[in-house]
Amino acid sequence: MVQQGGCGRLHRRRGLPAGRLRGVRTRGRPRAAAPRAVPDGVRGHHAARQSRRASPGGRRLAAARAGAVVTAAPIATVTGRTSAAAGEYTITARGATVRSDARNSGGPEIHAGELLLAALASCALAVIEGTAAEEGLGLGPVTVEVSSERGEDQPPRYAWFRFEVTVAGVDQTTAEALVQRFRDTCPIYNTVAAVSPAEFDVRVA
């Protein structure tokens, strides 16, 4: 079946209501509170203090003063280098190395667009597998196939993304809930989905 939106319902064994897979939103995003306006003519220390409180750094500082545990968002860094052969590159992250070829080089290595699809597939697998472990589900093998088409817009971008997800060991409703968790929590997916439509075909094996 093709899943365009919504969240599947997961029946948990601990007596919680159906659809309460931890962290999955079954409704729309919560409405953000409107920022308090600074009165006309108010400047200087008061306005600067309001600005600091509204910034991410200001919120972290306020939380620290209140005794809360503050965790900075992790920063991911990847380094790419050319090689002696034109069109062949080395990509390094945390000591791991991946070889990549330019899209039109004819080389056998994965190219940049495929690396993006690989990141989406890897994130989906990690979220589905990790969520199943948290929920105590007997998950079997999972396959995620991601495809895309380059659009003709300028500046160029991808016209669409399609996810074909096959999950073994669970029923259809649970499989859809696991995929919805990926859609709710993966920053890679939410970044591309903000500008290009994504379609899902979720199946069980």
Full-prediction pTM beyond 0.85? no
Shared-domain flag, residues 184 and 151: yes
What pLDDT does 66 receive?
63
Model pLDDT for residues 44-66, shown as the tens digit of each residue: 444 444 444 455 555 555 555 56
Are 102 and 184 part of one and the same domain? no
Co-location of 123 and 161 in the same domain: yes
Question: What average pLDDT does the chain have?
Answer: 79
Is 25 within the bounds of a domain? no
For 147, residues 6+ apart whose C-beta sits below 8 A from its C-beta are 117, 161, 162, 164
Residue 36 falls within a domain, yes or no?
no
The residues of the chain scoring below 50 in pLDDT are 1-2, 4-20, 25-53
Domain enclosing residue 105, as ranges: 80-110
Residue 166 covered by a domain:
yes
pLDDT at 76: 93
Contact 113, 157 (CB under 8 A): no
Helices (H), the chain: 44-54, 56-65, 112-135, 172-185, 187-193
Spatial CA neighbour of 88 closest among 78, 100, 106: 100
Based on the domain organization, do 161 and 122 belong to the same domain?
Answer: yes
| pLDDT value for 39 | 46
As for how many domains the chain has, the answer is: 2
Do 93 and 147 lie in one domain? The reply is no
> What pLDDT is recorded for position 95?
94
CA 106 to chain centre: 31
**Any domain includes 71:** no
Q: Which of 110, 127, 158 is the last residue before a domain boundary? A: 110
Q: CB-based burial of residue 22 (10 Å sphere; 0-12 exposed, 13-18 middle, 19+ buried)?
A: exposed
CATH number for the domain that contains residue 142: 3.30.300.20
- pLDDT, residue 27, reads 39
196 lies in some domain: yes
Looking at the structure, tell me whether residues 145 and 91 fall in a common domain. Answer: no
> What's the pLDDT at 21?
64
Question: Are 87 and 159 found together in one domain?
Answer: no
